[in-house]
Structure 1
Amino acid sequence: MERSPGQRGWYLSARWQRDEEADEDGESAPLLPPPPPAGSVRDTPSRGSSFGFSVFNLMNAIMGSGILGLSYAMANTGIMGFSILLLIVASLASYSVFLLLSMCTQTAVTSYEDLGLFAFGSTGKVLVATTIIIQNIGAMSSYLLIVKSELPGAVAGFLNGDESGFSNRSWYLDGRLLLLLTSVCIVFPLALLPKIGFLGYTSSLSFFFMVYFALVVMIKKWSIPCPLPLSSAIETLQVSNSTGDCKAKLFHLSKESVYAIPTMAFSFLCHTSVLPIYCELRSPSKRRMQYVTVTGIGLSCLIYFMSALFGYLTFYDKVDSELLQGYSRYLPHDTVMVTVKVAVLFAVLLTVPLIHFPARKAVLMVFFCHLPVSWICHILVTLTLNTIVVLFAMYVPDIKNVFGVVGSTTSTCLLFIYPGLFYLKLSREDFLSPQKLGACALVIFGICVGLLSLVLIIFNWVDQ
């Protein structure tokens, strides 16, 4: 029987108090009820996901389009500067998951939105849902930006040429037109499906494609000479007036450095998927899920660092904000890079509808919860979301802008601010306890970094 919000709040408060009395530290307290006795009707031989499969699911939730912008972040912070920032963001992401697990273990809440409801009532739930909507719109836009920039080159590759070898009037090499066609013919029909569970399996291929991409980046470092081949007289003049084009910088600071932390925050955001993975974990407990989190974030951090490092050591200060563009320029006919492009594009087209699903669910929950479920509402919301995403992807000039704005706002909120804020609200520990002080520091870090990054990004736009 469905509980009213008041009944649910009373039930969760009672559950919180009962669990606090039963298990002070909560390290081994399960989120789910204990399994039925052996031999009962509900008894199953292998309930839940294994540790390894849960790590894979978490890494699949973490890794996405952000990997294409991390080399640009390293070029504008230096190898050591990037390494320090990456380690800080990864550590804070792991710590914020720990705070979420601490709250969920005691409240029995199994979704980010319900955690906002339990902490701040309906206002908190709407705030979290709205943040997830904006975050997912940004994520989908970043994926479709890849389609706009890489699909023309892939088409030209299949036609045994490159983009410069065809007439500028060739419609099949117009990135915006190709984006519109693929969105109408592939993304929108898949997003219309009421249940797209099968896309969960196919989109898991995107994780392997990203790992494949990282391996190719490492291998292709020796296929592009340094100094880079010059394509124009302007580049020749620039190179002649500069030194150290093939020298890596340990620390570097420029106006583009402001995109580094937002891009990393965008790349490590997995917090909306942590709770479902927790619920599906075999013998779920906070300690066991913490091991899953540390392993998943640690391995993702390693893959991110290696791809960023070798991408930077390939192009140095000429690295593009979307790494694949550099390979399109200097290795336009390389067969391996063509396969990477096709793999990434395939992953993008199957992942966008999957990201669309929770965004649509959040829109329906926030704006249409009072209306009965209907196909008309389903189609209109799907069409509206897809239209917004396509318009963003068509007219945003650079993927770094998506990483910067979304990373400094919604990603920062979901990654740092909300977990710390919810813990400060819900935890009954003394304010001077280590966990509450850590939560407070997490909130302050998120607010300061998010606001500072956003302001500097806006000033950067105005200055251009």
Structure 2
Amino acid sequence: MASYTAIRADSDDVHSRPGSSSSSSRGRRTPRGRKDVGHIGQASWVSSVINLLNTIVGAGILAMPSALSHMGIVLGVFVIIWAGMTSVFGLYLQTRCAKYLDRGTSSFAALSKLTYPNASIVFDTAIAIKCFGVGISYLIIIGDLMPGVAMGFSKHAGNVSFLVDRHFWITAFMLVVIPLSFLRRLDSLKYTSVIALISIAYLVILVLAHFIKGDTITERGEVRVFRWAGPVPALASFPIIIFAYTCHQNMFSILNEINNNTHSRTTGVAVASIGSGCALYILVAITGYLSYGDNIKGNIISMYAPSIASTIGKAAIVILVMFSYPLQVHPCRASIDAVLKWRPNRSRPSSADVSPPRAPLLGAAPQHPIHKHEMGELRFATITTIVIIASYVVAMTVSSLEKVLAYVGSTGSTAISFILPGLFYYKISAPDSIHHQRLLKEDDDEESEEDDSDPEGFATGLRGRLGLGHKSWRKTLLRRLSLALAIYGFVVMGVCLGTNTFLVASH
């Protein structure tokens, strides 16, 4: 992999630009005059991509071949790409929304206070439930797979009762994930994320190896290329693909911690992460489906004949979810903290009440806004402990959460990926919004630079054909697309809830 130190050189370049100061982390200005708050911006571009990609690619990759069997190869690949495009657009809107907040303070809670203050508790509750539910599923996966892993590595493991006991393995792995869950910064998890991605790489190689070897041909059923299995099976598989890209709960943490938060760099993180996940999904979906055809099951790894390679594959899944668990605790903790702090606004907030903190006046006493936004040590430890204990208790007492997580995913994941980014950007970028006035000059500067680099007048002609003003065409188009994404999210939520209620639950 690329050297982290080489990438981190970008942070030194930021400090050397006009309007910035390397001598103090307080009140540091970015090239466009926005303020960095506190000791932040230490994560490299590579580590940001790794952490986000690890949030995206999880055990859901194993269900991609099954989804393809219901849709057919052509339609299935199209849906995988479409889901990736809509998800990356949601991430892009989050990067745009972060521009309205001071550096290091970006979060769903902060945007809720600026846009829909009285509804922020609903948004944070949805995020907390989603992340909490996914964390429980990770613990259940560990409990389900580890007995088989133990049996695969030792034939005598069955004679030792606790080695095939799911409760023992959940408890044992909690001792590993607990210290990781208490880390404050996502960038601290970059090395565990590397290990998790290595596990994903092994799974991909395992599926490819069986496909190339052709040792599953005798078990292969019909292969659908253009034909699908029907609207009901295809619709039932649609949520699997949609939710496989959910990573938006960690995007604001990535934006807060990346050392160079220029628009091109943050957009690059989103595109690189979603693009890499999309490529892996398509690769595993096609090769896994061609290995078994319509005889494929939900988890392709479980279909391979018992061997050292397949046992290692199961162990790789365990390692993957083990290191993904802290990535769910991080946003869950922040959302619970926001819910506990929520107070209804009984009057219309003024610009002074809702505007992000400004730079201190010249000669004023030094301010450190980051300390105002960070949780205290006791509060941080208490919320984290409650989340860990609660998820542990549920995972120990419930062996199957498929139906529960289907409803949680249908609401929480869809809200995080599509509805919230779309609604937040549409609201905060309104021309009459007091927050929008802060960025008018910046957008004008960007358009001036664009026109200078467009001597042929192509951009100007395009704006005219779209019927948009010279200075607002990009903002207007983006606002329309953000509203369309939010509406799309509501439609997906209704479809997924309907599918789980009337189709999946009935079987």
Q: TM-score range by the shorter chain?
A: 0.7 to 0.9
Residues 1:114 and 1:195: Cα distance change in structure 2 (over 3 Å): closer
TM-score of the superposition, structure 1-length normalised? 0.75
Aligned to 1:277: 254
Corresponding residue for residue 119 of structure 1: 115
Say whether the 8 Å CA contact 1:56–1:296 is kept in structure 2: yes
Q: Larger deviation: 211-220 or 288-297? A: 288-297
Query: Which letter maps to 2:137?
Result: S
| Whole-angstrom CA distance in 1 between matches of 2:271 and 2:330 | 27
Letter in 1 for 2:385: T
Change (3 A) 1:161 1:309: farther
| Aligned twin of 2:502 | 459
CA–CA distance in structure 1, aligned partners of residues 86 and 123 of structure 2: 19
Q: Does 1:342 pair with 2:315?
A: yes
Question: CA shift at 1:120, angstroms?
Answer: 0.9
* Match of residue 441, structure 1, among 476, 481, 484: 484
Contact 1:263 1:407 in 2 (8 A): no
Paired residue for 1:364?
337
Which one of the candidate residues 368, 390, 394 is aligned to 1:387? 390
C-alpha deviations, 1:329-381, integer Å up to 9, x for none? xx21x2222222222212322332342233233223323689x9675994576
Inter-partner Cα distance in structure 1 for 2:293 and 2:400: 22
Q: Deviations for 1:228-255, whole angstroms, at most 9, x for unmatched residues? A: 2xxxxxxxxxxxxxxx814244333353
Residues 395/319 of structure 1: CA separation in 2 closer, same or farther (3 Å cut): farther
Superposed counterparts of 1:182-331, under 5 Å: 182=172, 185-188=175-178, 191=181, 198-221=188-211, 222=213, 224-228=215-219, 245-250=221-226, 251-253=228-230, 255-327=232-304, 331=305
Q: For residues 434 and 34 of structure 1, what CA distance do their matches in structure 2 show?
A: 35
Query: What amino acid does structure 1 have at the position aligned with 2:268?
Result: Y
Higher relative contact order (CA 8 A, sep 6+): 1
- 1:283 Cα deviation from its structure 2 partner: 3.6
2:87 equivalent to 1:93: yes
Cα drift, residue 385 of structure 1: 4.8
Using the TM superposition, give the Cα deviation of residue 140 of structure 1 relative to its aligned residue in structure 2, in angstroms.
1.0
Maintained 8 Å contact 1:416/1:446: yes
Is 1:105–1:286's contact at 8 Å kept on the other side of the alignment? no
State how far apart, in whole Å, the 2-side matches of 1:357 and 1:102 are. Answer: 22
The verdict on how the C-alpha distance between 1:394 and 1:94 changes in structure 2, with shifts beyond 3 A counting, is same
CA distance in 2, matches of 1:287, 1:57: 18
Residue segments in structure 1 that go unaligned for 5+ positions in a row: 1-31, 229-243
Rounded Cα–Cα distance in structure 2 between residues aligned with 1:104 and 1:136: 21
Q: Which amino acid aligns with 1:118?
A: L
Q: Match for residue 76 of structure 2?
A: 82
Amino acid at match of 2:83: V
Code of the aligned partner of 1:61: T
- CA shift, 1:136, in A, is 0.9
Change (3 A) 1:116 1:245: same
CA separation of 1:113 and 1:259: change in aligned 2, threshold 3 A: farther
How large is the RMSD of aligned CA atoms in angstroms?
A: 3.6
User: Is residue 227–residue 246 contact of structure 1 (8 Å, CA) maintained in 2?
Assistant: no
Matching of residue 397 in structure 1 with residue 393 in structure 2: no
Distance 1:262 1:413 in 2: 13
Output the CA distance in 2 between the equivalents of 1:373 and 1:197.
Answer: 20
- Could you tell me how far apart the structure 1 residues matched to 2:57 and 2:224 are? 26
Cα distance 1:36–1:60, how it changes in 2: closer, same or farther (>3 A)? farther
Aligned residues: 405
Q: What is the Cα deviation at residue 149 of structure 1? A: 2.4
Unaligned 5+ runs, structure 2: 1-13, 29-40, 344-374, 432-471
